[in-house]
Structure 1
Amino acid sequence: MLSAVYGTLLTPSMVSKWSEDEDGKCKLCEERMGNIQHILAGCKVALSQGMYRWRHDKVLKQISEQVVFHCDRRVNKAGDGRQFIDFVPAGRRKAERIAESHEYKLYRYSGLQAEIQAKGWCCYNAAVEVGARGVVAQSLERAARRIGFRGRELKKLVRDSRKEAAHCSRWIYLLSGRKEWEFRKVGA
């Protein structure tokens, strides 16, 4: 993923600079220049095929599993009278625009937060972002600390989220030349 961060991955756009046989266009949409930003987060065909949603859901599943484990082990002790709540995953987000994405998510779920609080529940609106290239925003760490993650647990959550995003983006990059994409439901 380091090559993706520094822009040294071989993309159609890059190859077109030294090869006359390459037009530089994305191999999926064949409309826009096939640079790494477009391949990992901007191709309409990849979006419509569910590639970006797949990556989003895999990272969210990674975070969710660790939060559930943490809550079961540390917070929700048997017989303490607490009710368990199933969390609803966030909707789509703009790729690699972490600050904009964070504000959008907070706004999007502010109505739900107010509705929950009006019913007497304690609720915090904590949006988290993990970029397509494995950049983990501070929002994930802040949200995790708020629910009691500390030390090794917190480092593992951040590390595993980063690795999952990078792993999925690697597959999106490797498959960026294939027109077919078989969407597989996460966890299936």
Structure 2
Amino acid sequence: MQKQATEWMRKIDKSGLPGMFKAWIFQHGLLPRLMWPLMLYEVPLTTVEGLERSISSYLRRWFGVPPSFSNIGLYSRTSALQLPLSLVVEEFKVTKARLVMTLRDSKDAKIRQAGIQTRTGRKWSASQSVEQAEGVLKHRYIIGATCSGRQGLGTTHLQMWEGTDDKKKRSMVQGEIRREEEGATKARAVEMRSQGAWTRWKLLERKLTWTDLWRYEPLRIQSLLRSVYDTLPSPANLHQWGLVEEPKCQLCQERGTKSHHILSACKTALTQGRYRWRHDKVLREMAEVLEVERKRKSPPRKHKPSFIRFVKAGDKGTRTTPGITGILGGAETCEMRVDLGEKLVFPDVVQTTLRPDVVIWSAESRQIWEERCDQANERKRAKYVDLMEQCMERGWCTWLFPVEVGCRGFPARSVWKMFQALGVVGRTRKMVVRRLAEAAERASCWLWSRREEKDWKPSIDRQ
């Protein structure tokens, strides 16, 4: 089995296909074929771990990451950047657990009483893992569905252990085993200083699908993976690897330069306008979306009193879906100005020297919206709070939306909240946020590839 798996990976590697297609063949062709003998035969966990190391070396080569790249970046389902790959060890544990439950809960009495044991070596026991997962699920049923934060009663819906059939129980046990394996992976990531730095981020994770990987150029996916897990050839990493004598930035000569310094903290790059160019790329994408939403004809909001309809015991209530209208729906005509190309002049509402990136206002309904993409949400909110109060004192209904998109292409929660408030929801909002993320990540990839150019100027093709 080991020889066959090695030969299959070698044939995929020599197929001449791009790396993303090779990874897809492994995920949907080789892995299911490999799971069948792993389920039937008595294979110890140490053998599966050795097989996983061999497979991971090929996957790192196909994705263009160094051998030191952790398996967490390839297989984790809770990391900042998630790839559609499955861990061989995790699939092996889930498969063995399913075999244990299939034999134990078989409808044939002879099979149930045969005393068949599923051996997986001394390092891990499938039967003990199933018992532990069932104990956790039963304990969760006793506790019930708990709410956290500002969640109300009934917000969290969990599938409980009692009252479900055997098929759902097997699915719940397998999910609990996956959750336990992912928890161990997250614990290892917290212990890693460089490649586990994403555990301290307060951003929503990004899930890359196979469609996304096929659209990405090899340099983009390679740069994205290495930037998230801090394995880019930055001066600090090159010095740590013993390839350079001093970890200095090529532009500002600052010592101890890491990848985030080159992408967002170099003073020379800031004065040259590199970060402003990336900022404008994201702002241009956002302005296009807001322009479409501004011109979209939406029904005006009607302020009618809403009443709570109580349902008698035993009756079924009728669920009504309200129309999706944002704060732009309250105005018939809106105007918009964007701080691109020429200096933005604030509309004739108040006199100010501040330059928000985007200003949307309606003279008929006396409403004004503004948003700015920069680094700190609190700093931007404090910066524009006086302007917001001045507009409200003159009788304008004003909303302020400070939003942030990270240099690695991770939009903050403020981006999602802003589009939801403007009426961009559902699948459209996901597509819009993905466009902003790709714009920032693509611009950062370009800046990284030109990090040693001292006389950098944005040309026509970079616009």
Shorter chain as denominator, the TM-score bin is 0.7 to 0.9
1:105 corresponds in structure 2 to 380
Q: Is the 8 A contact 1:57 1:186 kept in 2?
A: no
Matched letter for residue 40 of structure 1: L
- 1:141 and 2:392 are equivalent in the alignment: no
> Partner of 1:44 in structure 2?
267
When residues 81 and 63 of structure 1 are mapped into structure 2, their CA distance, relative to the original with a 3 A threshold, is closer
Shift of 1:187: 9.4
Residue 84 (structure 1) aligned with residue 307 (structure 2):
no
The residue number in structure 1 matching 2:289 is 66
| 2:419 maps to amino acid | A
Q: What's the CA shift string for 1:92-133, capped at 9, x where partnerless?
A: 844xxxxxx111111111112122222222211111100111
Residue of structure 2 in register with 1:30 after alignment: 253
Q: Secondary structure, in 3 states, of the residue corresponding to 1:127?
A: strand
Shift of 1:135: 1.2
Larger radius of gyration: 2
Structure 1, 10-19 or 152-161: larger mean CA deviation: 10-19
1:183 aligns with 2:458: yes
1:174 aligns to 2:449 (yes or no): yes
**Paired residues of 2:238 and 2:247 also in contact (CA < 8 A):** yes
Is residue 62–residue 161 contact of structure 1 (8 Å, CA) maintained in 2?
yes
Q: Distance in 1 between matches of 2:462 and 2:337?
A: 17
CA deviations on 1:148-170 (whole Å, 9 max, x unpaired) are: 00112101111011101101111
- CA gap of 1:113–1:76, structure 2 versus 1, over 3 A, is farther
Q: Name the residue aligned to 1:97.
A: none
5+ residue gaps, structure 2, are 1-223, 301-330, 339-355, 358-370
- 2:433 is matched with 158
| CA distance 1:124–1:18, change in 2 (3 Å) | same
Cα RMSD (Å): 2.5
Rounded to whole Å, the distance in 2 between the matches of 1:144 and 1:93 is 17
Structure 1: 5+ residue runs without aligned partners?
95-100
The letter for the 1-side match of 2:261 is H
Q: CA deviation at 1:74?
A: 4.1
The residue that corresponds to 2:406 in the other structure is 131
1:118 correspondence with 2:341: no
Contact 1:49/1:183 (<8 A) preserved: no
Q: Which amino acid in 2 is paired with 1:71?
A: R
Cα pair distance change 1:43/1:162, threshold 3 Å:
same
Q: How many residues align?
A: 180
Q: TM-score, normalised by structure 2?
A: 0.36
The residue number in structure 2 matching 1:98 is: none
Cα separation, partners in 2 of 1:112 and 1:153, compared to 1, 3 Å: same
2:366 aligned residue: none
Counterpart-to-counterpart distance in 1, 2:437 and 2:332: 35
Q: Which letter maps to 1:109?
A: Y
CA distance, structure 1, for counterparts of residue 461 and residue 393 of structure 2: 34
CA contact (8 A) 1:16 1:22 kept: yes
Distance (Å, rounded) in 2 between the aligned partners of 1:169 and 1:81: 38
Structure 1 counterpart of 2:430, one-letter code: K
Name the one with the larger strand percent.
2
How far off is 1:6 after superposition? 0.3
Quick one: which of 1, 4, 18 aligns to 2:241?
18
Q: Distance in 1 between matches of 2:276 and 2:296?
A: 30
